[in-house]
Structure 1
Amino acid sequence: MSVRSVQKEATRRRVLEAARELFETEGYEETTVRAIAKRAGVSVGSVFTSFQSKLDILSEVMGERLDELYEELDRVGHQLRGSTADRLRSLFALFFAFETRRKRLFLAHIAATYDWRPGAKATPFGHNERLKQVVRDCLARGVAAGDVDPAIDPELIVDTLLAAYAWTYRLAAWADADADTMSHAMDRQIGLIAAGFTPRPQASGLI
């Protein structure tokens, strides 16, 4: 890499680290690009050399953050035991435990991904294929084990689970709920959803 490229990357890293800290301590809406530049020790112009907008910065911060989450899932995901409902409960508990380490940052991310205005640049919530695949894999394991009805559309189950997952974050936004509180609420919702995908016993015919 050229000296200029090295300097640009160093500036980009300082901006991301400064933004991560400010989004968490001050909140996304309250944080300005000028404040990020000041914390990073660079000019506002330097920020816009690497990023198009504050939302672009948030997207990159969260992209790196979520990479850490998936690395953690790769380490422990294969160790999950029990029924499909139990494994889903464990899976989402891992999500909440990881995400609430920087709760305000994750709430800002959810708010941005629900911004459906024309021109919005954040990836809409529910379009994260890596997250959806983790849930699909759990359901596929359940089909193989016989406790998930293979006739039920797995994408419908995934969408329903992710809708419940996102809605559970209202507890963090409204009541500053911790990971255990949100996991408990999600556990109950998973129980209801699992009642819909669990195979029903076949009625025996009368002879």
Structure 2
Amino acid sequence: MDLPTTKRAQRKAATRAAVLRAAREEFHAQGYDRAKIVDIARAADVSPGTVLNAAPTKIALLCEVMADDFERLRDETASLAAQQNGDLASAIKALLDLHLARHMEDLELFRAAIGHNWLTNESDFKTLHLSLEDAWSPVRELLSGAATETEGGLHDCPHLLTESLLDLYLGVLRRCVIHTWSPEFAREQLHRRLDLVFHDCESRRALQ
């Protein structure tokens, strides 16, 4: 991330950071539905108008908060990916376990952001999903590296496999919301689904 260079830009960035920090705290404390712009403004020690300068609506503000979270998650995932030296399936499980742990901590906020944006085609939707896909870039890079080392199977289609795994992952999170799965059960269900995918990849390779 590029750092602001002028004092005005630095003040603006500091204000935005304070607003996002206050918004995150209010969303966590009150939940998305109960959190109010006026309370976020009070916690950030700014006016409600300043809060809306950071994001024009409450859902846009939540998406900004989630985008910042996804950026940190991308960096954490990249660091974890660099430590992997086992087979591909185990490495992918480790990366997605990290994502699942983070999202289970913020499941109510993740539900609010994704649930709202799945029903619209607003710019917030595109921004949020671009941020989420960016958080998955270490997964894509790991699969791309595997594609250069192996032949056959879905490993030769890293982008398609990444998109498929993301859809699979979001399906697990959706069921966590609907069925109130525990983190342990969610992880078990995620691994069962991943085993099916990678078993299919290995079967395709064996047939070629």
**Could you say whether these structures have the same fold, taking a TM-score greater than 0.5 normalized by the shorter chain as the test?**
yes
The partner residue of 1:123 within 122, 126, 133 is 126
Q: 1:92 to 1:175 in 2, by over 3 A?
A: same
Aligned equivalents of 2:56, 2:28: Cα separation in 1 = 21
Task: Give the counterpart letter for 1:68 in structure 2.
Answer: R
Corresponding residue for residue 3 of structure 2: none
Contact 1:89/1:183 (8 A) holds in 2? no
Q: What amino acid sits opposite 1:201 in the alignment?
A: A
Larger fraction in helix: 2
Is residue 149–residue 197 contact of structure 1 (8 Å, CA) maintained in 2? Answer: yes
Partner of 2:166: 162
Structure 1 residue runs of 5 or longer lacking an equivalent are: none
Counterpart CA distance in 1 for 2:147 and 2:9 is 50
Change (3 A) 1:11 1:141: closer
Aligned to 1:71: 75
User: Judging changes above 3 Å, is the alpha-carbon distance between structure 1 residues 18 and 197 closer, same or farther for their aligned structure 2 residues?
Assistant: same
Deviation at 1:49, TM superposition (A): 3.0
Q: Report sequence identity in percent.
A: 25
Indicate the larger mover: 160-169 or 128-137.
128-137
Range that drifts further, 27-36 or 17-26: 27-36
- Aligned mate of 1:24, from 25, 28, 44: 28
Deviates more, 1:9-18 or 1:123-132: 123-132
1:176 and 1:43 map into 2 onto residues whose CA distance is 37
Matched, 1:13 2:17: yes
> 1:114 aligned to 2:118?
yes
Choose 1 or 2 for highest CA Rg.
1
Distance 1:50 1:140 in 2: 36
- 1:150, 1:170 → 2: CA distance? 25
The residue number in structure 1 matching 2:87 is 83
Corresponding residue for 1:174?
Answer: 178
Matched with 1:40 is 44
Give TM-score scaled by structure 2 length: 0.80
1:95 to 2:128 alignment: no
Letter of the 1:138 partner, please give it.
L
C-alpha deviation, 1:96, in angstroms: 1.0
Distance in 2 (CA, whole Å) between partners of 1:104 and 1:146 is 40
Structure 2 Cα separation of the partners of residues 147 and 86 of structure 1: 19
TM-score by length of 1: 0.80
Q: Which moved more, 1:123-132 or 1:186-195?
A: 123-132
Aligned to 1:189: 193
- Residues of 2 paired with 1:26 and 1:161: CA distance? 32
Is the partner of 1:110 in helix, strand or coil? helix
Mark the runs of 5 or more structure 2 residues left unpaired by the alignment: 1-5
Offset at residue 190 of structure 1 (A): 0.8
Matching residue of 2:54:
50
Q: How many residues align?
A: 201
Tell me which amino acid in the other structure corresponds to 2:206: P
Q: Is the 8 A contact 1:116 1:124 kept in 2?
A: no
Q: Please, which moves more after superposition, 186-195 or 100-109?
A: 100-109
